[in-house]
Every structure is written in structure tokens, then in C-alpha cells.
Amino acid sequence: MIWRAAIFAAAAALLIGADAADAAPWTRGYVVGTYEFAFHYGGRPGFTRAGEVEPGSDCPHGSTVHFSNPEHVKEALMRQKWRRQDDIEKIAVPPGLEKVPGPATTRFSIWGRAISYRGWKKGVETYVNPFAAEDTGQPQVTGRIGEGLNLDGNAQTGFASPDGEKGVDNALYRAWGCDAPWRGRGNATLFLRSNDKMLDGLFTIVVRISGNKDPMNDDNAVVEIGYSPDKIVKDSRNAVAADYSYRLPRTTQYTRLKARIRGGVVDTEQVAEIHIPRISWIYDQTGDAFFRKGKLRLAMMPDGTLSGLMAGYRDWRDLYSQNTFSQSGAEQGVREHEDAIALYYALRRNADGMQDPVTGRFMGISTVYRITAQPAFVVDPDPARPVGIQGLAAEAWRKASFEATAAALIKSTSTRIIQDVPPGTTEAQAPRLERIIQELPGKEYFLKMLDRPHYRWKVDEVGMPLVGMPEDPVPGPPPEKSQRVSANTR
């Protein structure tokens, strides 16, 4: 990895001529420019073949291909014994597509509604209730090399790092490293999407490192990392511009850690909690990443930049929700060729931390984020003008619906009691499907045959209630009878 290889160069360049007598309080600030899961891609650099990503030594069977063609859709649907074979055939290849203006959109919407209902019986939305569906199988990383840090103190667990360190814990990479949209060498679909949105202002992360000795060798340094309300300033090439100022308020997405620096490499203490912004590509997902038993390793480079890793245990249900419900489980599946049901079981299998004292189950999975950052002036906000985490009022209901859906997932997997899909989302392509297939011959067949969420409010085309809009995202008492509508009239 580039930042690891550059550590020795950094140490040599910055230690030459250093004079301990000149030691004095110092501070260095940075704004994060790339922020992603630390998945170690094992393919050959520069490999290209008809746009493919090479399988590589870590994923010898290649990336996921769920729902990439009609045969894969049929394979998933045939696991439900209650489905009729002729229905499955028509879902996979809907008749009459040649007569609609958007055949691909129509087909994908029908696929999305069908794959959202794959439980042991009809009527169970299985992205909110993933335990109710059969594991469709997630190809997992088989390699022994992984990026990360030793979180459990056991050199016998986990991976070996690219530079030979034993016991590197990164079970999320084991579980999801072969998932198509997260796979690649800096060009994975969801990495590109989240980094692009971060640079466009969705969220900003800053780092401040300070001490009282030589910045390259200080055994009593401090690392601060967290959210900034200031949007990233970009240069003429659309990259992060250096040396601009950013505020670092002590919000719920802020962490301060003690650290030790050797040769420009910053190793922090391991703390019970680390709070930083999530990886996000829409406003719904934004929030606190929340690592348990977390720590950081960062390298201050000779050119003034920063790169490194942050690691800890994350609640795997949070990771599932933030990926699956970013828009909808069906949309992620059809568009990204991933199956959230398979991802759910892969997380459960590979969970390795946060053991529940009652059930004995591991509720956390070791997770590592990789960052690069540009030099910046990181300052404290004016005490007279307190700064919090900024929100988007126009998106408040959608975000509340996202959080309600995540809460429903937590409840369903904890209690094994089937939960309804909260309103305000497009989960299960509802009510989007009803709008999209208006010109499809035989639309009544699909509307009758396919399940859908049933809300207690009239909703618009993106699932937002039109009446009785509650401030509480959890549905309360239903509206008056005159406001209720049946599934056939929505």
C-alpha cells in the first residue's frame, strides 16, 4: 500500500537535521479527501478486459452477479416454494416490455418488487426482515492478506497486513470484499459515489494532530477527528484544495485520542468509542459511524498530506441498514448486482466482536476505513457562535424514514418478529412500481400477483405520506377512515 511504503521515506526526509532543542507545541490539520472501506484488492494492477475487474487472489470466483440477468432472478425466486413457476418466468421476462417507453426501468421495477418478498410465506418484506429469507450465498474473501489493525491483541486471528503484520482484524473485508459495488482498486462504484458526494458537500471530515515535541516523534500527542460544518473547497481539477480553514466542533461525531508518533507514523490509543461521520452518498445515510474498541494509524507524509486507517468494531446491523436502505434493498440489488440477504448472512457469519452477554452472539464486526487527507487549517468554532451538525430541512422526513427502517431491522432481527416497512421510503419499489407499469399490458396481473407494503396513509410516488404526516417516524394511529385507502387504489 502506498502510504505504508512511504512511511520510511517520510521518516528519513523529516528526521534529517531535526533538533530536539527546537521542540515546541505544534499542530497540523487535515481535511479528508477519500474515505472508504479498507478492502485489499488482490488483482493485478492495470488489468483490463472488456471492462471487467479481475477476480484476483482474494476473490478467485469473482465479484457478485446477483440479479444481473433473468436467470439469476429466477434462481433467487425459485427458493420460495410457494411461488408458481409460470409467475417466476413472467417476473424474469415480463411480457409486453416491447410496448412500454422504458422497458429496462419497467423490468427492473418488477424484479425489485419480487425480490423484496422472498420469505418463507407471502407478504413478508425480506430486506427489513432478512432472517425470513434463505441465504442466497455471498462469495467471500479467501485471501490471507488484509489491511487493518490488530484490535483483539491476538496475532493468530484475522489477516496479515501487506507489510507482514500479523493479527490484522478486518472481518468486514472477509464478508463483503467480493461484493461487486465495493470491489476494485480505488474505482469501486460505491467508493466513487460516496467520495464524490463528500467532495460535493454532503459531509466533511477533518483531522487535527497536536503535541509538544518533534512532530515526527512525540510520545504524548493528541489526535482529534470528526465532522466539520464547512464544505470542502476544491481546486480547478475538482480535487481537494490544500490550506483552507475548517471548523471542528465537538459534536456527537467527534473523537479525541491520545497518540504516539514514531517516524511520522501516528498510533492512537484504543478507546471504547470512536465517533466520526458515516460513509454516505445520500443525506438519509448521514450520521455517526460509531466504532467500538477503535484506534487509528496515520502517516504524515513528506508532501504534507496524511493517509492511514481507522479501525474498530461496528454493529453489523448498522452496516447492513446503511448499505441496504440507502435507497432500497431492491434498487441496490438490481443496480449493483448485490443481494442484501446474502450480505446479511455474511455479516452474521463473520461477526467477531461486541459479544452479547445474554445470547453469546457477536453483534459487531471488525471494520477498517482508509483515508487520505490534504493539509488544512483546522480551528475551533467561535465560542460565541455554537456550531452543530447541519441538516437539510427538505429531506428531514426521508431521513426520519431511513432511521425508522433501520430501527425496524434492529427489532426484527432481535425479536424474530416480522416488521412492516415504515412509510416514507421506496423500499420494495412501492409505490414506484404502480406508477412505472401504467403502460404495461397485463399490469393488473403483476399488481395482483406481487406483494407490496401496506401503509396506513395515502402516499406519494416516493412513499411520503400525503395525510396525517407525523413528526414521529414510527407510524402512530391510522388516519380517519375517510383518509384510508386500499392497496388497489394507491
> Of 9-18, 46-55, 77-86, 156-165, which range is least confident?
9-18
Question: So what's the pLDDT on residue 473?
Answer: 42
Whether 116 contacts 329, CB under 8 Å: yes
As a whole number, the mean pLDDT across the chain is 87
Query: Can you read off the three cell numbers belonging to residue 227?
Result: 465532522
C-alpha to C-alpha distance for 307 and 371, rounded to whole angstroms: 6
pLDDT band at 456 (very low <50, low <70, confident <90, very high): low
Question: So what's the pLDDT on residue 53?
Answer: 57
| Percent residues over pLDDT 70 in the chain | 85
pLDDT tens sequence across 176-224? 999 989 987 777 899 999 999 999 999 999 999 999 999 999 999 999 9
The more confidently predicted of residues 10 and 68 is 68
Question: So what's the pLDDT on residue 460?
Answer: 64
Q: 143 to each of 17, 41, 174, how far by Cα in Å? A: 42, 10, 9
C-alpha to C-alpha distance for 217 and 136, rounded to whole angstroms: 50
Nearest to residue 171, comparing CAs of 412, 325, 362?
A: 362
Flag whether pLDDT at 479 surpasses 90: no
Bridge pairing between strands 362-379 and 245-247: parallel
Alpha carbon 29 to its chain's center: 26
Flag whether pLDDT at 482 surpasses 80: no
Question: So what's the pLDDT on residue 462?
Answer: 59
Flag whether pLDDT at 232 surpasses 70: yes
Per the listing, cell 430541512 goes with 393
C-alpha to C-alpha distance for 94 and 430, rounded to whole angstroms: 18
Whether 18 contacts 173, CB under 8 Å: no
pLDDT tens sequence across 390-432? 999 888 888 998 999 999 999 999 999 999 998 878 888 888 8
What radius of gyration do the chain's Cα atoms show? Answer: 24
Whether 206 contacts 32, CB under 8 Å: yes
Whether 309 contacts 368, CB under 8 Å: yes
Whether 186 contacts 194, CB under 8 Å: no
Question: So what's the pLDDT on residue 459?
Answer: 63
Q: Tell me the mean pLDDT in the region 278-303.
A: 96
Query: Can you read off the three cell numbers belonging to residue 183?
Result: 470491489
Q: Say whether the peptide bond before residue 70 is cis (omega within 30 degrees of 0).
A: no
Bridge pairing between strands 271-274 and 306-315: unpaired
Q: Which residues contact 435 (CB under 8 A, 6 or more apart)?
A: 461
Flag whether pLDDT at 261 surpasses 50: yes
C-alpha to C-alpha distance for 465 and 483, rounded to whole angstroms: 11
